[in-house]
Structure 1
Amino acid sequence: MTVVSAKATRLSRSPWRTAWRRLSRNHTAVAGLILLTAILVACFGAPLFFDYQRDVVGVNITQRLQFPVDGKPLGTDELGRNVLARILWGGRTSLAIGFGSVILASLVATLIGTAAAYYGGRTDSLLMRALDVLLAIPAMLLMITFVAIMAPTQTNLMLAISVSFVPSMARLVRAQVLAVKDLEYVAAVRAQGAGDARVLLLHVLPNAIGPVIASFVMYIPGGIMTISGLGFIGLGIQPPNPEWGSMLASGRAFIRDAWHITTLPGAAIVLTIIALTLVGDGLRDAIDSRMSNR
């Protein structure tokens, strides 16, 4: 490696290191990251401590609506099922759909937004008008229609939520690519005969994607709230499989006699949203500062 290339590598990496230092010094973001890590470890580590058939969906009427009870520190629901086990297993579903829908929407939105901004003209007009049509339809109505037509499986729910996220995400990508594509260094690369793929992958997207990623992270809380809302109205993951929104719905009839059935899943949703919001805000501030100082 030459001295010039080594120096260029250090310069290209230093802004990201600066962003990481800014994030690590943001105490609220670190607290959110710790809380989020604990939630992820607890939920996705649930199979190590609870058997799905016995603890999550197994019925034991003799222990219904108890709080607490031996071996079940968070009590039982109306069918005698372990509330702690159901919260953790339900969290696996809610988190998987929340993260998965944002990742899927991000990939599609990046392709659409990049193509629209880079090529412009008719390509831009056609893609943006198609997104305008989707934006004209209320997001919840779009998802309810999608789920009503398709079966409410985890994959279909993920697709429904991601479709509702794509239009606004694609506009974010388009705006960032428009800001970068006509800069001098991009024009210089084009003048050297580089193809569109090389220009986009090596020069435009790496310099446009930072603020986009920070913005996309803020969609994850919305994804979790959305799947919980669909579950609450009966269009999410179907019983007996647990999901935070459906647990809220099934427990509301017993809230006077067994408050824990509804309150604890609700608390799980709130804590997860708070953790994700703190991390997202910290990441956005760190990356925006990185881009402004680039």
Structure 2
Amino acid sequence: MPERNDGSGGDGDELAERFEAQRGSLRAAAYRMLGSLSEADDAVQETWLRLGRTDVSGVLNLAAWLRTVVSRVCLDMLRARAARREEFTGHAPEEVWDPAGGDEPEDEAVLADAVGRALLVVLDALGPEERVAFVLHDTFAVPFDQIAPLVGRSPVAAKKLASRARHRVRGTSEASAAVPGGGQRHVVDAFLAAARTGDLDALLGVLAPDVVRRTDPALLPSGRTAVLRGARAVAEEARLLARGARFAGPALVDGAPALVVAPHGRLRLALPLTIEDGRVAAYEVVADPARLARLVVTVLEP
């Protein structure tokens, strides 16, 4: 923790301790808003610097004040990101099978799993104001009259922002109702767990004997086939994808159970699954950026 000049009303060490007590909550909020742990840490550090330049002697609720500041910092970062975002032109073939390039730290991978890859993907597709309004209200129960000044809207408009975001996260009730909850989610989780560990027996147990894997041949490394059939062949290939599966999570894609591979919360692969009789009967690896952009990703509830 850097030293600070105490122009804030109160003992500097005490204020630093109070900030440290809020650091975890601030980091959690910033991560959900930004989808990147390094950016979240930058936002928290900027919040600390702003605290050091501000007289907060009259602030009755420091935690709320800090949350407001970190939210403003995140909103500025999201707006800057939206302004400079470039269209993604595609992956090299080897990146399809190792989409993260190994560059997501372990602590971020754990945090992403706790938050949910699908949620991060959906949040990444929202506008900055929608994302901030949704995270603050639905995750941290901040009232809309406090969110409104942050996003430059009225409380009613802020509520609409969060509502639109919530609809994107959860999808339509019809799509959600079309997916049987417990059984299919169990299969998705079992397939993901087996792929992450490279457990051949577990993969064979969750794949139908005549399972079919399809993918775009233009995105495949040399020597891989666009259509692969049979549990043994598909399982052997899936064992090779254990590293990429580390960045995967369950989701609904166009209303169907799926896995999404999303290092740093950015969608890189989608694997819609066909589940029959408690096993994966087929799946497709979608990696083409144009196709990914058209997919509707929502959260697959536990």
Scaled by the length of structure 1, the TM-score of the pair is: 0.26
Identify the structure with bigger relative contact order (alpha carbons < 8 Å, sequence gap 6+): 1
Rg comparison, structure with higher value: 1
Scaled by the length of structure 2, the TM-score of the pair is: 0.26
- Structure showing the higher strand proportion among its residues: 2
